[in-house]
Amino acid sequence: MYSLTPVLIAVVCVLIVWIFKNADRGVERRKGEARAGSEARPWVDADLKDSTDLQQVEEDADEWQESEESVEHIPFSHTRYPEEEMVMRSQEFYELLNKRRSVRFISNEQVPMEVIENVIKTAGTAPSGAHTEPWTFVVVKDPDMKHQIREIIEEEEKINYLKRMGQRWVTDLKKLRTNWIKEYLDTAPVLILIFKQVHGFTANGKKKVHYYNEISVSIACGILLAALQAQKKGPSVCLHL
Amino acid sequence: MYSLTPVLIAVVCVLIVWIFKNADRGVERRKGEARAGSEARPWVDADLKDSTDLQQVEEDADEWQESEESVEHIPFSHTRYPEEEMVMRSQEFYELLNKRRSVRFISNEQVPMEVIENVIKTAGTAPSGAHTEPWTFVVVKDPDMKHQIREIIEEEEKINYLKRMGQRWVTDLKKLRTNWIKEYLDTAPVLILIFKQVHGFTANGKKKVHYYNEISVSIACGILLAALQAQKKGPSVCLHL
């Protein structure tokens, strides 16, 4: 029999792309331009294959001036631990994080909302492209809403298993004994949905490009996982990619 | 005058794509197949726009059997803090992480290698697609090597600023007062280069697909940042995207 883990939170990464986006406008044209003009190195251009909404850039460029003001560098003050303590603390933090597991059986025990709020605030300290903070965290506790989310995710996962991802993927996952059924999305008392913002809006309603939005949101997820783990003695967290 | 921060480490995300990759083989063919077969939802398919090497899948599928063995679920045991302590710890962790800054002026003071090793081990506890752990961390201390890395990065960044990323990007970054000059890559005593592995190899030399490799590596970067911050009182870290 499998033990029900004490974990209280399922982290669901829902990656929403192309919202409010004018589908193909200008894409093909810009592709050609980029290749001609940049001596493109594949490993650098790939950084922007995360739906960064670059083709929008040129269209609004004349209208949008928000970022023109200059910001002073801020002197940074600090204190530091002695070397032995740095080593000890880094070792302890490793041991704590090394106890995290991606679990499939999740407890239904409640967790204080203050803890949820603190871990989300912590995730929001992550660095992001041009400090655009391209993330939205949504906390869901309502059972009906959780169930609807489960149904959407299971429908997508079923397509993944049956046709989208191919036979190799199904084979690779086989030993992990996963499938598209996600009962734990009903069981967990709290779901944290994480959305990436492909772009934002400025105060005057203009589009604001969110550079490296996928990488930035994923880094925030890593910090969120660390925060969840850091305030526990040993429990673990399920990250649903 | 700007204060030199005490930070000892510059984290350099170098995203390497398509290494060992047969450039276009099969890409066009599979594109057509995927669209026909999957009723694709853009927000899900976008998850795999991170260079996941899917077109290789079909070619080796018959030869590669490593993942066939079944692995038992492992019961998970734990201990947990009382609610008040969970709240307090989550608050403290938020306050600690909230002190992290992306700095541009970095101290040249040495840092114990044990600390570097521990934070990298901690990053390696991150979840990853099908547990493929698609990351390589490279620690560089040699001054000549650091300088060569700086030259490569500055060359790429100069292309970003002058032509690749467009005028909007340059405008957006202007207030941050950054440019393509990265003196701190010479100054920092240690660079941690982070590479994503688009695929790996099995024991018998077959290719092993690394699903969601960009998201997975970025999550590991988030945990690495948390680990760097967790063993300090207040210093910060520069993440070079």
Q: List domains and CATH numbers for chain A.
A: 1-18+83-241 (3.40.109.10)
Give the mean pLDDT of chain A. 74
- Is the Cβ pair A171, B68 closer than 8 Å? yes
- Is the Cβ pair B211, A172 closer than 8 Å? yes
SS3 category, A144: helix
pLDDT tens-digit profile of B154-176?
999 888 888 777 777 777 777 77
pLDDT at B66 over 60: no
Cβ-based neighbours of A28, under 8 Å, separated by 6 or more = none
Handedness of CA B40, B43, B48, B49 (dihedral sign): positive
pLDDT at A76 over 90: no
Q: What pLDDT is recorded for position A90?
A: 94
Contacts B61 to A, Cβ<8 Å: 167-168, 171
Q: What pLDDT is recorded for position A56?
A: 47
Distance from C-alpha of B237 to C-alpha of B191, rounded to nearest angstrom: 11
From A166-170, B15-19, B133-137, the region with the lowest mean pLDDT: B15-19
CA nearest neighbour of A76 among B132, B184, B34, B3 = B3
pLDDT at A137 over 90: yes
Residue A45, CA distances (Å) to A42, A68, B25, B45, B191 in order: 5, 26, 20, 19, 22
From A40-49, A176-185, B195-204, the region with the lowest mean pLDDT: A40-49
SS3 category, B162: helix
Report ipTM (2 d.p.): 0.75
CA nearest neighbour of B3 among B230, B236, B241 = B236
Query: Between these two residues, A7 and B155, which has the higher pLDDT value?
Result: B155
Q: Which of B103, B118, B159 sits opposite A38 (nearest CB)?
A: B159
Which residue on chain A is closest to B7 by alpha carbon? A78
Q: What pLDDT is recorded for position A131?
A: 87
pLDDT tens-digit profile of B72-114?
778 887 777 889 999 999 999 999 999 888 888 888 989 999 9
Q: Which of A76, A90, A100 sits opposite B3 (nearest CB)?
A: A76
Matching residue, tokens 């018959």: B62
pLDDT tens-digit profile of B28-46?
344 444 443 444 444 444 5
Distance from C-alpha of A176 to C-alpha of A162, rounded to nearest angstrom: 17
Distance from C-alpha of A218 to C-alpha of A210, rounded to nearest angstrom: 14
Mean of the pLDDT values across residues A132-140? 96
Looking at the complex, report in whole angstroms how far the Cα of residue A143 sits from the nearest Cα belonging to chain B: 23
CA nearest neighbour of A234 among B76, B170, B179 = B76
Cβ-based neighbours of B35, under 8 Å, separated by 6 or more = none
pLDDT at A106 over 70: yes
pLDDT tens-digit profile of B118-153?
999 999 999 998 889 999 999 999 999 999 999 999
| Interface contact B193, partner A, CB < 8 A | no
Q: What pLDDT is recorded for position B129?
A: 87
